Amino acid sequence: MESSNKVLVGSDVIDVFVEELSNVSHTVPKHIDVNPEDVEQGLVKLVLTLVELIRKLMEKQAMRRMDGGSLTDEEVERLGESLFLLEKKMVELRDYFGLKQEDLNLNLGPLGQLM
């Protein structure tokens, strides 16, 4: 992850995201135990974990852009509202599928825990 406060745009964001994922690829298990009874729950957990990771990356990028002064007041307001609604929807989905916030935690190796 970049340590500067540089605002990333377009493909720069994707490049940083791919770099971060490549740094944690060793934490992904080589074997996945597929039990028919647990497939739906496991898939939901995986999808929600990925959405949570992307949501957190979006929040960090939004903070960088706000700190960098590249957003208007209206854009900051819309961004804040969008991130709030996304977090609210994540809570609804976790509740619906019987998951807790810590169920979506991910060990990101040298980066530490996702949450």
Q: What is the DSSP string of 2-36?
A: --S-PPP-THHHHHHHHHHHHHHGGGS-S-----T
Question: What are the angstrom distances between the C-alpha of 60 and each of 31, 39, 93, 94?
Answer: 32, 32, 22, 22
Write down the pLDDT at residue 34. Answer: 65
Q: What percent of the chain has pLDDT over 70?
A: 68
Q: Tens digits of per-residue pLDDT, 28-76?
A: 555 666 677 677 888 888 899 888 888 888 888 888 988 888 888 899 8
